[in-house]
Structure 1
Amino acid sequence: MGDDGRGERLLRRVLAGCGAEPGPDWSVSVAGESSPDSASGLDADGPLRHAVRLPARAGVPAQWPGWVPDQVREAFVRDGVSSPWSHQAQAAELAHSGVDVVVATGTASGKSLAYQLPVLAAFTADPRATALYLSPTKALAADQLRAITSLGLPDVRPAPLDGDTPMDDRDWARRHGRLLFSNPDMLHRSLLPWHARWAGFLRRLEFVVIDECHTYRGVFGSHVALLLRRLLRICERYGAHPTVVLASATVADPGPFAGRLTGREVTAVTVDGSPSAGRTVALWEPPLLPELTGENGAPVRRAAGAEAARMLADLVLEGARTLAFVRSRRGAEVTALGARRVLADVDPDLTQRVAAYRGGYLPEERRALEAALVDGRLLGVATTNALELGVDIAGLDAVVVAGFPGTRASFWQQAGRAGRAADEALVVLVARDDPMDTYLVHHPGALLGAPVEGCVLDPANPYVLAPQLVCAAAELPLTELDVDGRFGGQPARDVLDELVADGVLRRRPAGWFWPSTSDRPAASVDIRGSGLRQVAVVEGATGRMLGTVDGTSAPATAHPGAVYLHRGESYLVDELDLDAGVALVRAADPDWRTDARSTADVEVARVLAQRDHGPVSVSFGEVTVTSQVVAYQRRAPDGTVLETVPLDLPEQTLRTRGVWYDVDQRALEAAGVDHDLAPGALHAAEHAAIGLLPLFAICDRWDIGGMSTALHPHTGRPTVFVHDGHPGGAGFAERGHAVLEAWLAATRDAIAGCECRSGCPSCVQSPKCGNGNAPLDKAGALLVLGVVLAALAEPATHRMRLVG
């Protein structure tokens, strides 16, 4: 490779920290010079599975658009922006001309300028013009508000509008604010239900800015898509037709995705004109711990968080400014503490230069941490994804990602925090004990050489559409034109018919009406969940509400006797009242954890698509999942079962969508899977498939579920189901059906590539299995998947599609 850069030097330091320093002739391959799956020159017994250097990229500057007012241009020049990059100028030009646009470029590429220029130009041309900025987090909106304020331009009148904004400040924003920084929750609960009060702001609305739009996926994304349709309908009512500007991390097909989100045709700008520093990207698999065994005797790897803590300490000792991304708030605290403990034994003065950063801190605490990291007072920060989105921290020396963050888009978003123009940086992905992580570190082409995922959302989901249509009707009566032109046509009509039959809405010749004139339905609709009732977690002794859990997951996470974690504090659940929507808890610090045990059954309600491949049939459709939490286990920290406690909780029914395959028993027997082995083999294949679906659809394994059985009453054969975990479906199972062969091939490779003998969390064990990961047959799962994939390689012999 020639003279190694800082990224490679930092990687050598991390390797040396675990006693695996390579020889003097070892070097990192350069992207494009070798196969993405190549790992030549690495110690097969060491933790480093792959390393590649991504070369730096020069920027492509552009001229300031002629329509940008002098005072706006001069303000940006004073702020350090001498000229826009090509993608900024292109997106701003489109937005200025009234074209809805999404700019989808990398982290720290300056996407904000694409909306700031046309908005500020419009404000200069029309002193009464307004704009609305929406972000998924309050922290990101606050960061953008500071950036606009720092320009010092007159009469912009930016203002926050979120749940923390005092009522007096809200009133000022409503009467005088021109550029409001808000979020979908505030739009849903406060602005749209009371739109008449905001008529002055809405009738002059020129731009709607939707930042980090790739976060709007699944059920939440489906709610936001309909919420935006509600907003644009209300704007039209007041005579406004705002231009929509969206910003996103790099995602597949950003234009069509932005179109599904907004209900409009959107032009995509995807060629990143900003400069990018070189990066060395390393894939790391922690070693097995021979002294420990997990559930059912499975081998255990060193925890990704513990490995990240050691790396964070090593990098701080090198003077490298480093972010370590971890998956949870508690994990961020523990990782920072672990790094400080390591540093205390080597250089105690450095312990004060490591901190944790997460949601739940006060805004002033977060701002102080951000400033300390930027100016170098802090060298190491362990953080949740709170620092992934938007907050202006870039140019760091290293990023450690403890556990794949769920999507390639998120991984590159986090990796983009590292890299200075003058020197390259280091990015390390540390694999968790998880099928997805294991697959990626052994198949680097699936991460380093693959396009980012597409975002999945389904605004036609009736369980999302129904509450959103009710909210829309309460804001303004729904007309035939609204239904056909904005809310999806016939699916919306079917939902409206049910709402009328149930007495929720009334049908009149002019349209559909909300019968009440006083209450507002938006208050009871949770756009970040299923739209169904939430269960409040309340401290019994004080009445203090700690948080909420979704009603569908409450029996498994907040049952009587459960250990409930909130902001790193432990509580025991004393009582769960599903009818009242309350779980009562008390503070406790038990030396055990709890795992719920449940039963589940999947009934096929309607087949939407089916195809036969010889002995294998593949289907997609509507399913009814019936589950019941029947017990919980108290487990010691090492996984030992201390006690199994029965529970008497009601059954829960979930109507959703699923994908499934069923196999001729004779084909399984011919492959060596007899009737006695089938339950464990199918169960293991199901677990691994759930763990790998996020590779193909932007979701988390907790967004999906599954069931396997050696004889299902609908198919009459051994069957494996994977279904969405949200009412009506969220699009994940449908995506799995579309890419079934590639998905199951990756599943087989993940199982085959795991070095355990009989199954572990890296391949076929699941952290959420209601049956305690029994029975499981790793070898049998490979045989089952071999039969299925061999059949899928042959043309379908019969196809059937049912509609309506």
Structure 2
Amino acid sequence: MYFRKNIQEVIDIVKYKPEYSKNIVHWHTIDASPAKTAELPASIDIRLRVALQKRGIHQLYTHQRSAYEITRDAKNFVAVTPTASGKTLCYNLPVLQTIVENPQARALYLFPTKALAQDQKSELNEIIEEMGVTINSYTYDGDTPANIRQKVRKAGHIVITNPDMLHSAVLPHHTKWVSLFENLKYIVIDELHTYRGVFGSHVANVIRRLKRICEFYGSSPVFMCTSATIANPKELAEELTSTKMELIDNNGAPTGKKHFVFYNPPIVNKPLNIRRSATLEVRKLASEFLTNKIQTIVFARSRVRVEIILTYLQELVKHKLGPKAIRGYRGGYLPKQRREIEHGLRNGDIYGVISTNALELGVDIGQLQVCIMTGYPGTIASAWQQAGRAGRRQGEAVIFMVASSNPLDQYMIQNPDYFFSRNPETARINSNNLVILIDHIKCAAYELPFKAGDTFGELELEDILEFLTEERILHQNGDKWYWMNDSFPAHNISLRSASQENVVIIDQTDIASVKVIGEMDRFSALTLLHEEAIYLHQGVQYQVEKLDWEEKKAFVREVDVDYFTDANLAVQLKVLEVDKERSKGSIEIGYGDVSVQAMATIFKKIKFETHENIGSGPIHLPEEELHTSSAWISLNKNELEGISEKSIEEGLIGVANVLKHVAPLLTMCDPSDLHVVPQVKAAHNELPTIFLYDRYPGGVGLSEKVYEVMEKLLAESEEIIKKCACESGCPSCIGTDVLHEQAKVDALTLVSKLKQGVTLKN
């Protein structure tokens, strides 16, 4: 007979059963806190007041009341409060009140994902229905049927969309949206912290285009932004919108009791300090909760990892919970599949979901009680967002962070005070990145001609407009510049990936029913969609039979194998121009433009369960070239007297491995946004050098931040290598590319010399 346990019983199993308890490094309990409230404003319409009361809202949290008052004064705000603190009402309340007062008023809501947009629409429509008034709220995205689009454009009081759709389907066709732009009172930007790096830099330019069109139609909307906790919300909001902001951070929402557990898998090879795979430990923990029917979300850092964990768990619990009770969720799934999964979580049909950070955002996915992170997500802000997926309705929740062997995970797991006491990171964008900027100026010129004296945000444009005229992209007539090309610029510009084009994945298992099952950006496709790669989708294995690089199509067929694949990328890098340089004694730190050539070389077949290498093969794909910005640090030869070239090389590889994991911590970026390349003899100065470069044409400011914080970066790296318990190097410090037994000593020698030089210099 199967009995369901409550969450406290399962927490106790994990806390006291030796196979789990011996791996718990730190158990941090955050007590519940009461709400801080304020009265509903007197100006709120009675119908809206009644609708709120029907939903159990008789008072506002303090931050919600502040947001209402600020917008009534026609000021812009950015609200920064934890997950599940009722940020949605910060913007819904002023928007609904304004539309009730003036039925011509319009609002535009921007969400970073379709899932979030769909979720917010449901909540908004419930309030509108309870008000009993005619307010049309519509989502406008790639899934909106053609026959409804005209209605949205003409009659939508609240249009809910995403930046990609605004960029490619709304702004270029603004003449079809006259009633929206003439009456636009509010622009809502939700999940502001996601607009960082490449994506944020693009979106800042989309907002510049949006403001330009609003001005053309005579509207001056108020911006309402909401964000998870980051160190610089006001600065980011102002940079993203080119608008002055008021900061709201007086959170009044209550919180439920949360247990935050730092969990370090056991060591399986003491000399090499290699730990049991985090993936296998996550499987064990998740199955403990899932087999007791406790709703659980597991986060993994990559699409491949999501599918591996999903495969393990589905096999483990299908006899107890049924085959559909555990699902995967990530980018690349088709919309209908994603909606179905969200619905299943809300109504309780689905007990477990394995996700990339796609579900990190505020989608209401019901009363999840457990969150398990496979490794540290890369930023403190992301970790808190993922933790916030559990216990959203004031219930008790438990969050596990299961460390992998990588240096950043080990640093975090062994320094819980750093995690709990440190302010979250600074989000950085570079809206004036020339590659991104020129793309959006082309789009803006297509939308409306530029005239002499026009600015784009704060930027003066004359030089760029003259350049585009010389390139025969714009045509100058008097003091105006017009778009003169037949092509439609927005279609060729992706806001989300460093690559301009995605590779479409086509399933040809059934020749009679060939279908598209997903897509992937070009740079990722080099290592994940090469021929013979195993591509995992919803727990199903597919082998890539053919990758048509020219046509951007990958043809896959369903297979049943006991391994997955992993590919190597060979990188060559050379400095094109030095923009900043500082040196002291024997250390040189630089920042400037570089050219990077990347080529996928070989792939390995890795067996499920044991994760051993069972074979390999070559990859035949063309080289991809990237012009970007990079920071670097070099050490002069006189510091290395008596150290062999082999030791210098091993030391550089070791230090580079640590830097690769620590740098994203200080720059608040995804580890894949910033790449690290060691060179024993760099071409530009012939010195041993480590480069850290932005993986995007022109760079988005990440490596510039690295240049600024190089001292801190090296100090943290030295600390990780020193504290590591291994004898001669391991995956938790200098990596496993390093083989000889002096490697750890070499890396420590090198990092201390680099650090000493930087300290002297400053």
TM-score (ref. length: structure 1):
0.86
Q: Given the alignment of the two structures, is residue 696 of structure 1 paired with residue 666 of structure 2, yes or no?
A: yes
The partner residue of 2:147 within 168, 184, 192 is 168
Equivalent residue letter for 2:344: L
Q: Which runs of 5+ in 1 are unaligned?
A: 1-5, 22-45, 292-296, 767-771, 797-804
Structure 1 residues 426 and 61: CA distance shift in structure 2, 3 A? same
Distance 1:397 1:497 in 2: 58
**What whole-Å deviation, never above 9, does each CA across 1:246-285 have from its counterpart, x for those lacking one?**
1111111101100111111122111211112232222111
Tell me whether 1:657 sits opposite 2:629 in the alignment: yes
Answer whether contact 2:600 2:619 (CA < 8 A) is retained.
Answer: no
CA contact (8 A) 2:236 2:427 kept: yes
Partner residue in 2 for 1:255: 234
Q: How much has 1:228 moved relative to structure 2?
A: 1.0
Instruction: State the SS of the aligned residue for 1:327.
Output: coil
CA 1:526/1:618 → structure 2, altered by over 3 Å: closer, same or farther?
A: same
Letter in 1 for 2:280: A
Percent identity, aligned pairs only?
31
The secondary structure found in structure 2 opposite 1:19 is helix
Other structure's SS at 1:532 match: coil
1:584–1:266 distance in 2 versus 1, CA, 3 Å: same
| 148-157 or 108-117, larger mean C-alpha shift | 148-157
Q: Which stretch has the larger CA shift, 750-759 or 621-630?
A: 750-759
Partner of residue 188 from structure 2, selected from 196, 206, 209 = 209
Q: Which of 244, 264, 278 in structure 1 is aligned with 2:257?
A: 278
Is 1:598–1:628's contact at 8 Å kept on the other side of the alignment?
Answer: yes
SS of the counterpart of 2:51?
A: helix
Corresponding residue of 2:297: 323
2: CA distance between counterparts of 1:420 and 1:728?
40
Aligned-partner residue type, residue 473 of structure 2? V
Is the aligned partner of 1:242 residue 2:217? no
Q: CA deviation at 1:510?
A: 2.4
**Correspondent of 1:786 among 731, 734, 752:** 752
Letter in 1 for 2:746: G
Written as runs of structure 1 = structure 2, the 5 A alignment for 1:40-439 is 46-151=22-127, 152=129, 153=131, 154-290=133-269, 300-316=274-290, 320-328=294-302, 331-332=305-306, 335=309, 338=312, 355-359=326-330, 360=333, 362=337, 365-373=340-348, 380-393=352-365, 396-419=368-391, 424-439=396-411
Shift of the 571–633 alpha-carbon distance from structure 1 to 2, 3 Å rule, reads same
Aligned mates of 2:299, 2:622 — CA distance in 1: 39
How far the C-alpha of 1:73 sits from its partner, in A, is: 1.7
Please show how residues 715-794 of structure 1 align to structure 2 within 5 Å.
Answer: 715-765=685-735, 777-794=743-760
Q: 1:624 aligns with which of 595, 617, 628?
A: 595
Within 2, Cα distance between the matches of 1:695 and 1:717? 27
Per the alignment, do residues 762 and 142 of structure 1 end up closer, same or farther by CA in structure 2, a change over 3 Å counting? same
Q: Is the 8 A contact 1:213 1:247 kept in 2?
A: yes
**After the TM superposition, which residues 706-717 of structure 1 pair with which residues of structure 2 at under 5 Å, given as runs?**
706-717=676-687
Alignment match, 1:801: none
Size of the aligned set, in residue pairs, is: 744
Question: Could you tell me how far apart the structure 2 residues matched to 1:762 and 1:49 are?
Answer: 16
Residue 3 of structure 2 corresponds to none
Aligned 8 A contact 2:110 2:161 in 1: yes
Deviates more, 1:455-464 or 1:46-55: 46-55
Task: Give the counterpart letter for 2:493 in structure 1.
Answer: V
CA shift digits 1:597-653 (9 cap, x unpaired): 444322212222211132211111111112334444555554436244363x44332
Q: Distance in 2 between matches of 1:552 and 1:339?
A: 30
Aligned counterpart, 1:502: 471
Partner amino acid, structure 2, of 1:792: V
SS of the residue corresponding to residue 789 of structure 1 reads: helix
Q: What SS is found at the alignment partner of 1:84?
A: strand
Shift of 1:732: 1.4
Matched residues in 2 for 1:773 and 1:63: separation?
63
State whether residues 307 and 537 of structure 2, in contact with CA within 8 Å, keep that contact through their aligned partners in structure 1.
Answer: no
Match of 1:762, as an amino acid? S
**Given the superposition, is the C-alpha separation of residues 238 and 589 from structure 1 closer, same or farther in structure 2, using an over 3 Å criterion?**
same
Residue 656 of structure 1: CA displacement?
0.5
Q: Are the structure 2 counterparts of residues 290 and 136 from structure 1 closer, same or farther at C-alpha, using a change threshold of 3 Å?
A: same
Q: Return the alpha-carbon distance in structure 1 between the equivalents of residues 705 and 571 of structure 2.
A: 23
Q: Is the 8 A contact 1:13 1:315 kept in 2?
A: no
Moved more, 328-337 or 625-634: 328-337
2:753 aligned counterpart, secondary structure? helix
Task: For 2:315 and 2:555, locate their aligned partners in 1 and report how far apart those are by CA, in whole Å.
Answer: 36
1:14 is matched with 14
Distance 1:794 1:642 in 2: 48
Give the secondary structure class of the aligned counterpart of 2:409. helix
User: Could you say what the CA RMSD is over the residues aligned between the two structures, in angstroms?
Assistant: 3.0
Residues 34-74 of structure 1, C-alpha deviations (whole Å, 9 max, x = no match): xxxxxxxxxxxx31112222233222101212322121122
In structure 1, distance between residues paired with 2:492 and 2:248: 37
Offset, 1:558:
3.3
Gap change, CA 1:289 and 1:363, over 3 Å in 2:
same
- SS of the residue corresponding to residue 676 of structure 1 reads helix
Q: 1:386 to 1:654 in 2, by over 3 A?
A: closer
Matches of 2:306 and 2:599, distance apart in 1 = 33
The answer as to 2:520 corresponding to 1:549 is: yes
Distance in 2 of aligned mates of 1:506 and 1:590: 58
> Structure 1 residues 424, 71: CA separation in 2 closer, same or farther (over 3 Å shift)?
same
* Most deviating of 363-372 and 210-219: 363-372
User: CA separation in 2, counterparts of 1:213 and 1:48?
Assistant: 34
- After superposition, the Cα gap between the structure-2 partners of 1:488 and 1:65, relative to the gap in structure 1 and judged at 3 Å, is same
Counterpart-to-counterpart distance in 2, 1:316 and 1:687: 36
Question: Would the alpha carbon gap of residues 520 and 363 (structure 1) be closer, same or farther in structure 2, given more than 3 Å must change?
Answer: same
Distance 1:690 1:148 in 2: 43
In the alignment, residue 480 of structure 2 is paired with which amino acid?
G
Q: Which residue of 1 aligns with 2:657?
A: 687
Instruction: Letter of the 1:470 partner, please give it.
Output: K
Does 2:449 match 1:477?
Answer: yes
Instruction: Report the secondary structure of 2:646's partner residue.
Output: coil
Q: Structure 1 residues 19 and 636 mapped into 2: Cα distance closer, same or farther (>3 Å)? A: closer
Give the Cα separation in 2 of the matches to 1:183 and 1:396: 26
> 1:260 corresponds to which letter in structure 2?
E
Gaps of 5+ in 2: 1-5
Aligned partners of 1:397 and 1:594: how far apart in 2? 33
Q: How far is the alpha carbon of 1:752 from its aligned partner?
A: 3.0
Q: Report the Cα offset of residue 713 of structure 1.
A: 2.4
Question: Any conservation in 2 of the 1:679–1:775 contact (CA below 8 Å)?
Answer: no
Whether the 8 Å contact between 1:8 and 1:426 is mirrored in structure 2 is no
d(CA) in 2 for partners of 1:519, 1:676: 54
Q: Report the AA paired with residue 507 of structure 1.
A: Q
Q: Could you report, residue by residue, the CA deviation over 1:230-254 in whole angstroms, capped at 9, with x for unpaired residues?
A: 1111111111111111111111110
With 226-235 and 46-55 compared, the bigger mean Cα shift is at: 46-55
* C-alpha distance in structure 1 between counterparts of 2:234 and 2:517, whole Å: 39
Q: How much has 1:726 moved relative to structure 2?
A: 0.7
Q: 1:631 to 1:417 in 2, by over 3 A?
A: closer
Q: How far 1:760 moved relative to its partner?
A: 3.4
Summarize the Cα distance change of 1:603–1:386 in structure 2 as closer, same or farther, 3 Å threshold: closer
